[in-house]
Structures are given as structure tokens and as C-alpha cells.
Amino acid sequence: MRDVVDTLQLAIQQAAELINQARHGVILTGAGISTPSGIPDFRSTTGLWKRYNPLEVATLSAFRYRPENFFAWLREIARDIHGALPNPAHQAIFNLQQAGYIHTIVTQNVDGLHQAAGCSQVLEVHGTMTTATCIRCYQQFSTRGILDAFLSSGDIPRCQDCGGILKPDIILFEEQLPYQTWQKAQQACRGADLIVVAGSSLEVMPVAGLPLLSVENGAPLIVINQTPTYLDVRATTVIHHNVAEILPRIAAQVLAQG
């Protein structure tokens, strides 16, 4: 047991030293950073894809041809996101960004918790739940009031002007990633002097390939995730642990050293 504790502490110290040397660090976050806030992930043994078939509820085709199924699935996600608050991992990233070590946050999450924690330079490569767009007139709306009504009634949200269905601005299967956001994410990773993966299993392409852009340019890689990833073998430091526990410990060491 003592050996396990010592090994973990050594890894935390090594990660802190790497971050302390960074001035253009990039962190890629996935569902694992939001599960401590009560938002379920998708691919774990208790994830959403154990209860839903993504091809039936989370594709662009499902939205177009079976919107009632799509919105029934979305309602469960929206309920969890609606009540969620940033956790210590989000706060740790904010602290590192404020101190100048992390420049850009690339996130696969759609919950807006990085922004709620005060972070800037957040690139939401899989879209966001904070806005929705009418499929008929293409007006974009904040989901703040719309979400309350949807959670209360379960009725499909519609545009107040033309009556078209409002599609949340999340990226579904069969959709392209938001072009400008994706270009910025690639640019940030290519220019990074450190890349941190936090709470992502790195199973969803093309986002899972972003850390390679940094590694191939010589940037060290830190992986913090409960389960192994395909890039563990390329990482300088790997910590298989809860990000909400580990990131604050790393951040505390970085800020103490800085």
C-alpha cells in the first residue's frame, strides 16, 4: 500500500514539474472530468450507452426522423447538466490557467462547466448545450429559459418565431465538428509546449488524435484518466485515478512551486 501511495505522489510531483515549465499548455478534457459533478459519461460500465443505443437516439438521422426519441434521451442528459456545478477539477484548471500555465482548454464536453468555473479560451469541439438553433429559420437561442420549460414538460422545444424545432448545438453522430473551433483546437495543440489529457478515454476520433499533434512536435504528455488510453505509451506521466482528486493536488504543487 505504501508503495502505491509513493508511486502516486511521485507521478503527481512529476506532472507538477512538467506543468511548471509550461507557458502554452493545452488541456484536453472529456466526460471523466464532469462525472464528479453528477453528469454520467457515455462509455463506462454505467455510462449512457449501456442504457441507450447511440444509433437510435444520438445521430443526426435520429434527430431528423425520430425527434421524439432524440428529445427523450436528451431530457435525461439535460436534467443532469442543468443541476451540475463545477467540481474541484474544473477549479484546478481555472487556477492553472489564471497562473499562466494552461493557455487553451479543448473539451469534448457540452456542459459548459469550464466556463462556469471561470475558464477562458475554451474550445468546445463537440458543441454545447448552452445554445440551440432553429432548423427552419436558423436563429440561435440561449437554452437558459428553453431548458427549464423542456425539463418541466418534455415537449419538443420550438422556435418562438417560426415554430421550427430547436436543435441543441451539440454535435451528433453523422455531423461534422464545428469548423472554426476544430481549426483552433488543432492550432493550439500544434503550438503547445505541454499537452494534458484529463478525464478522456481517447476513444472518439478525430478529437482523440489531437494530443498526437503536440507529442509529435516534442511536447510532453500527461494523461490523467481512470482507465488506460491508447496514448499512455507516449506519455511522460500517466495517472490512472479520479481527476477531481488528482488535478487539485497537482495544481496545488504547481502554484506552491511557482
List, by residue number, the catalytic residues: 126
Cα gap 152→24, rounded to integer Å: 43
- Whose cell is 488541456? That residue is 27
Cα gap 189→212, rounded to integer Å: 8
Q: Which residues contact 160 (CB under 8 A, 6 or more apart)?
A: none
Torsion of CA 58, 64, 65, 67, to 10 degrees: 60
Q: Is the peptide bond before 88 cis (omega within 30 degrees of 0)?
A: no
Instruction: Name the region of 211 (left: φ>0; alpha: ψ -120 to 50; beta: rest).
Output: alpha
Q: How is 203-248 classified by DSSP, letter by letter?
A: -STTGGGHHHHHHTTT--EEEE-SS--TTGGG-SEEE-S-HHHHHH
Cα gap 235→211, rounded to integer Å: 10
The strand order across the sheet containing 127-134 reads 140-142, 127-134, 166-170
CB 76 within 8 A of CB 83: no
